[in-house]
Each structure stands twice: as C-alpha cells, then as structure tokens.
Amino acid sequence: MIKKAVIPAAGMGTRFLPFAKAQPKEMLPIVDQPVIQYVVEEAVAAGITDILMIIGKGKRAIEEHFDRNFELEAGLAEKGRVEDLQAVRRISDLADIHFVWQKELNGLGDAVRHARHHVNNEPFLLLLGDTLIQSEDSLCRRLIEVYERYGESVVALEPVAEDKVGLYGVIRGRAIGEDLHLIEDLVEKPEAGEAPSNLAIASRYVLSPRIFDYLELTPRGKSNEIQLTDALRLMLRDVAIYGVTLNGRRHDIGNKLDFLKTNIVYGLERENLGPDLRSFIEDLVRE
C-alpha cells in the first residue's frame, strides 16, 4: 500500500506579485483555508500518512502552518473558542509532514529529484501544491488502485481546450478502459498545432521509484528546466505508463482569475456562506 506523498511547493509564484514577494502562493486562502492544506487533506483522504514537501526561499510560512502554535491554542482555549481550537490542532495532526529545501529553482523534475532519499525506493503519490481537485470519487485513490494493479507509474489526465494544451504536459495514448489509457508518448508544453491530443497531465501522479534514475538522465528542456514530463518520456521507452481521466474538476490556483473562481466555487458549497454568497452574485448580475 502506498503511504508516502510528495508535494512540490518551491515555485516563486510570480503571477501573484506583489502578494508572493514575501508569502508563498500555496498559502493563498480558499475561503478560510490555504491551498496547500486542501492538497494535504486530499492526500490524507487517499490513505497517505507520510508527506514530504519540497519548499524554497520564502516558504517558511508553510512549515509554520503545519506546526503547533501553543500560544494561539492557549488563547483560543481561554476564550472558549472550542471549534476554532479543534480546527487549529487538527492541522498538525493530519499526517507526518517533512520538509526539504530546493535551493535553486530548476523545474518540477528537479524538485521531485529532491525526494529520492525520503521516498526510500518506494512508490509515491505526487501532488502539485498549487492545484486543487474536486471529484465525487477520490482521484488519488484511483491512481493508487491502478498502480497497485499494474505495478507501473500512472498520471491523472484532463481534457483541455485546444488553446490551452501548450500550458501542460500532453499525452498520446489509447483507451484500455472507461477512464484508463495506456500512454504511448508525452510532450511537455507542445507548440500550437503540435499537441498529440487534448489530454493534459492533471497535477496528480503515482510514480515508481525508478523515476529518479530517469530524472538523473533528463537534460534541461522547456524554460531551461528539468521537466518531469521529459523524464517520464524517457522512462516510457522501457516500461509502461498509464493515465486515468479525471472525473471531476481541477482548479489551478497558479493564476489570479482561476484563484478568484475557485474561491467562489468553494464558497458556494459552504452551508454557512453559500446562500448569502449566491444572493450577492445574483444581485451583481442584475445590476
């Protein structure tokens, strides 16, 4: 059973300047909870008990968020704010969370490479720290299920609009099940008109530990960075890789518009906020 997860969260978040000058973009709030906490909760819901976060300069707030704050807890207890106290304590009890620093930002592939010793030759779940997934059934559990069935790496896939394929790693493959593909090729951020399909890798993976050997062989690619998709393409020459189509919605918090949209979606789903928020939006539309 896969028990370890890796969450890269070292990027600078330049699309969220000036906020991201001193605060990690992964700490942006979705309603009242930072993005990174939703990602951790998603991993925990899939049975993960051990999480490694890859962080970089200016990301200390992520460490502090998942650590205990005894002064805050004492103040909440003194004021009788039981519900808030339970919510705060719960954060540090979600899983065993560890941190390693990516000192130079050399791409997602390089960030994943920093997890080699912690993973310790075990398969692991990989979740990007600035993307949220909403699905009726756990996408991560489905990825783990496919890995345990076939014993090879598996990635989440999402159909995207033609004008968006250049933003993602894109696959060519053939369907072998209702939501399952056998991948035949992968291309990182293809040029317009050159994408092998509209199926993009959707920020969730279960990877065999052999990925680290291929990362060591991967040259710098797009943006002069070590791309995980390029390493997967190398690995595909030797072993099978599978893809699972997302049955749900992916929220990319890496840009301002989608960040705002995500807050609205999650806010509408809150029992204590949804009705009033919906009324406010309807009033705005009427105006």
Cα 31 from Cα 260, distance rounded (Å): 10
Instruction: Name the pTM for this structure.
Output: 0.92
Instruction: Report which of residues 111 and 162 the model is more confident about.
Output: 111
- In single-letter form, the type of residue at position 58 comes to G
Class of domain 4-254: alpha beta
Per residue in 249-272, pLDDT (tens digit) is 999 888 889 999 999 999 999 999
Cis bond before residue 196 (omega within 30° of 0): no
3-state helix, strand, coil in the chain (%, to 5): 40, 25, 35
Per residue in 56-94, pLDDT (tens digit) is 877 888 999 999 889 998 998 989 999 989 998 999 889
